[in-house]
Amino acid sequence: MAADKARLYMEQSLPELQELKKKKIFTEKEISDVIKKRNQFELRVNASGCNAQDYIRYLEFEINLDQLRKKRVKRLGVKLNRNAGSGQRRIFFIMDRATQKFYGDQALWMQYIEYARKEKAGKILNKALMNVLRLHPTESQFWIFAASCAIEDNMDITEGRSYLQRGLRFNKASRVLWVEYAKLEMVFVAKVLARRALLGIDGPTVDEYGAGEEDGDGNIRLPQISAEDIDPSLKKDHSLDTAALEDVEANPALNGAVALAIFDSAVREIPDDVKFAEDFFSVFAQFGHLRCGVKILEHVIAYSQEIAPTAPQTLSMCVRLPLLGADPTEPIFPSRLRAAISGMAEAVKIARAKAPLYASFVKSMVCIATLQEVDSDIRKITTSMALKYFRQAEEQGEITPEIYLYFAELCEKSNINGVDIKGTLERGVSKYPNHDRLQVLASRSRSPKGAI
C-alpha cells in the first residue's frame, strides 16, 4: 500500500522534473538524485510507522529544492511552464497531507501557516488558519498569529480584534492573549492619532510635568517625516479614516477606555497577580506619548498597589512612570529624572525583594546614560545612579546576572574612571558560573586592553 501511494505521487511529479531537465535547470544526475530522495521520503511518510518528523524532513528537502530551482531560473533567465514551476504547490500538498495525518502536531501547523504567509498564498493561509483554529481553539499562539496576519498583511484591525476576542472566549485564562488584545487596541489608538497628525487636526499639547511641547498630533511624538513613512499601513488601512475625524475628547476609545476595560476584565479572570499587571504595564509603556498613556499606566499602578503594595514589580512601575514617554533632550526631562531617582530611594526602603527593582532601575539609567544625544550633566547623573545601585545590589546580595550585564554595557559605552571592570565581572562569573554571556564578557575583560 505504501509503495503504491509513493509510486502514484512520484508519477505526478515526473512532468515537472522532465521540464527542469529539458530547460537545463538541473542536470540529469541531479534529477536522478531528486527522484531517489523523493522516493525515499514518500515510502517513509506512507509507511505505517511514519511520524511527524518524517514529514518535517521531507518538507525541509522540498523547500530547499524549490529555493535552488528559483535561484537557477533567475540566473539562467528561462521561463518554465506551469507544471515545472509547481514547487510551491507540491510543498503545500505535502503540508496538507502532513497536517491531515498529524492534526494534533502544533509544530507542523505552525510551519504550514508560516510558510503560506511567507509565500503570500492568501487563500491557502486562510484555509489553514480556519482548520487549525477549529482543531486547536485553546492554543493562544494560533489566535495571535491569525490576528497578526489580519493586521499586518490585510491591514484590517477589525478582523484582528475579532480573532483575539474569539480566542479569549476559549482561553479566558490566557495571559498572552489578554496582553496582545490590549496591545492591539493601543496600536489602533496610536494609528488613529497618527492619521490625525497627517490631516493636521490636532495642535500642540502641554506636558503634564509642566513644559509646553510641540507634537505633530498632540498625542504621539513623531519625527520630521510623515507618519506614513514610519508605518506604510497608514496609507492602506482606510478603517482609520472615520475614527481620525472624530473628536478625541468625546471618543472613549481614543482616550484609552477600551484598553482600561480590557485590563479590568483580564485581572478579574486572573486576579491578584502583580506580574500579570506588570506585563500590561510593559505594553502600555510603549505608548507613553499618547494622550491617554499616563492615565492608563496610573490605573495599572493603582491596581498593583492595591494587591501588592510592596512587591518589587509594583515599586518598579512607580519608579519607571516619570521616565515613560520622556525625551532626554527636552528641558522637562531633569524634573522627571529627579522624580524617578526620588521614587527609587523610597522604593528600596520598603521593597520585599530588591533584586528585580535594582535590575529595572539600573537598566533605565544605563539606557539613558548611553544615549549619544543626551546632555553631559544628565549622562553624569544617570551613570552615577546606575553605579550606585549596582554596588548596592551587590553589597546586599540582591544582584542578578542581568545587572552585571547592564554594568558591562555601561562600561563599554561610557568612559568611567575608577571602576574595576575586570574584577567586577570576575565576581559575577564566580556567582553565576553557568551564565554564558557573563563568561564571554569576563574573558574579554582579561585581554591586555581590558576591553569588554
At 276, the amino acid letter reads F
- Per the model's pLDDT, the better-predicted residue between 450 and 291 turns out to be 291
Model confidence at 138, pLDDT cuts 50, 70, 90, reads: very high
Q: Which tens digits make up the pLDDT trace of 25-62?
A: 889 999 999 999 999 999 999 888 889 999 999 999 99
Asked whether the predicted pLDDT for residue 234 surpasses 50, the reply is: no
pTM: 0.81
Asked if residue 37 belongs to a domain, the reply is yes
Which residue bears the cell 509507511? Answer: 47
Question: Residue range 365-393: average pLDDT?
Answer: 93
Strand partners, 205: 213
Residues paired with residue 317 on neighbouring β-strands, in sequence order: none
Residue 410: domain span = 322-451
Let me know: does 193 contact 234? Beta carbons within 8 Å.
no
Residue tagged 505594553 (cell numbers): 283
pLDDT at 199: 74
Span of 23-27, 81-85, 264-268 with lowest mean pLDDT: 81-85
Residue at which a domain ends, from 54, 81, 102: 102
Please indicate whether residue 255 or residue 317 has the higher confidence score (pLDDT). 317
Domain assignment present for residue 369? The answer is yes
pLDDT of residue 109: 95
**Cα dihedral angle (171, 174, 176, 178), rounded to 10 degrees?**
70
Mean pLDDT rounded to a whole number for the chain: 85
Q: Is residue 422 part of a domain?
A: yes
Identify whether 376 is part of a domain.
yes
Shortest CA distance to 16 belongs to which of 73, 85, 74?
A: 85
Band (222; pLDDT cuts 50, 70, 90): very low
pLDDT reported for residue 116: 94
Predicted local distance difference test score (pLDDT) of residue 257: 92
Kindly state the percentage of the chain with pLDDT values over 70: 86
Single residue among 102, 133, 155 that ends a domain in this structure: 102
Residue 53 lies in a domain: yes
The closest of 263, 243, 259 to 251, measured between CA atoms, is 243
Higher pLDDT, 120 or 3: 120
Please state which of the ranges 69-73, 219-223, 365-369 shows the lowest mean pLDDT.
219-223
Number of domains the chain is built from: 2
Q: Say if 218 falls within a structural domain.
A: no
Distance CA 166, CA 87 (A): 35
Q: Would you say residue 227 lies in a domain? A: no
Last residue in a domain, options 102, 127, 154: 102
Per-residue cell: 397? 546580595
Domain assignment present for residue 289? The answer is no
226: pLDDT strictly greater than 60: no
Q: Looking at residues 120-143, what average pLDDT do you find?
A: 94
